[in-house]
Structure 1
C-alpha cells in the first residue's frame, strides 16, 4: 500500500530506478561522443564506442544513418551518419523540439520512425482507431524536465496529430 505521507511506493521506486539508469547511459554516451570527431572518426570507431546500431537507414549520396536508441529508460536517440568514405559525417540527438516540429499531419509512420528512432512505447486504441507512438525526452532551461512526445497515427499509420506532456512515470509530483 502506498503511503501518502512519504511518497513511497512502486511507482516512485520505478521512477528513481529509471532516472539512475538514464543517468548512467547519459554519462557513457557523453564520454563516447567526446571521443568521436566528425570527418575524422570511422565507422569502426563509432561501433567500438556505441556497439551495433538499433537500425541502419539509407541516407543521401550513399551515406548510412545508424540509429542508437536510448528508449525506454533514456531521454535520447542518436542518429549517426556514416559517409560513403566510411567516416562519421554527423552525430545528432534527435529527440528535441526542432525535430518534433518536422513531424507533420499525413506523414507515414516509417518517415517518423526514421526521423525520431524507435519509440519508447506503442499503444493501439482500437475503439478510437488510433495508434500512439511515445518518445521520452528532456525539456526545460537546464534539460531537467522529463517529457513524453506522442505522435498519433490513424489506421493507415499516417500522422493525425502530435502532443507533448510531462512524463507521468518520472514526475515527482505524481
Structure 2
C-alpha cells in the first residue's frame, strides 16, 4: 500500500529527528572489547549492510543517509564482540578517497551514499553523501564520480548549497 506523499514526508521527518536521538542514547553503550553482536542488534536493530572482512569477521553498517550526516561502522572480532565503532563520514576518511578506487572499496569506506545518479552522456555514475558542514545555513555533500566503463573512481570532492533550495 502506497502512502500519500504528505504522510511519507512526515514519517521521513520523524525518522530524521528520532534516529540521531536514538544514536545519542545507544552508541555510548556500545563498548569495544565488551559489547556483543546480540547487544548491538538489540540496541541498533538490523544493520543496513554487512561487510565481510578478509579475516572472516564482519562489520555492520548503520548509515543515516540521506537525511543524516553520519554512517557508523561497527566491527566484530572472531568471538562476535565489538572490536571497533567508527563514524566514517569524517574529514580524515574523506581525504583518503583517491582516484582508482572501486565502488566496493568506497562503499566499504564511507557506507551507503545518500544518492546515486548515472550520467550516460558523461560516462559516469555519481554517488553523493550528505556530510557535516561548517555553516548552519548550508548543506554540504561529498561526491564521487565513477567511470561507467571500469567502475573506478575518476574524481571526488565536496559541494555546498544553501539550505532550503
Q: TM-score, normalised by structure 1?
A: 0.81
The answer on 1:166 being equivalent to 2:150 is no
- How far apart are the structure 1 equivalents of 2:51 and 2:11? 32
Give the alignment partner of residue 107 of structure 1, picking from 101, 123, 140: 101
Provide the residue aligned with 1:8 in structure 2: none
1:146 and 2:143 matched = no
Structure 2 unmatched ranges of 5 or more: 1-8
Contact 1:63 1:83 in 2 (8 A): yes
Q: Does 1:122 align with 2:94?
A: no
Alignment pair present for 1:43 and 2:33: no
Paired positions, count: 156
TM-score normalised per structure 2: 0.85
Q: Please, which runs of 5 or more residues in structure 1 have no aligned partner? A: 1-13
Confirm or deny that 1:75 pairs with 2:49. no
Determine the C-alpha separation between the residues in 2 that align with 1:22 and 1:75.
Answer: 10
Using CA pairs under 8 Å that are at least 6 residues apart, name the structure with larger relative contact order, 1 or 2: 1
Deviation sequence 1:90-115 (CA, Å, 0-9, x none): 11111111111111101111100111
Question: 1: CA distance between counterparts of 2:12 and 2:50?
Answer: 27
Q: Secondary structure at the match of 2:98?
A: coil
The superposition leaves residues 27-56 of structure 1 with CA deviations (integer Å, 9 ceiling, x where unpaired) of: 111111022111100000110111111111
**What's the C-alpha RMSD, in Å, of the aligned pairs?**
2.3
State yes or no: 1:22 paired with 2:34. no
CA–CA separation in structure 2 for the residues paired with 1:152 and 1:103: 11
CA offsets per residue over residues 51-78 of structure 1, 9 Å max, x none?
Answer: 1111111225332100111111111111
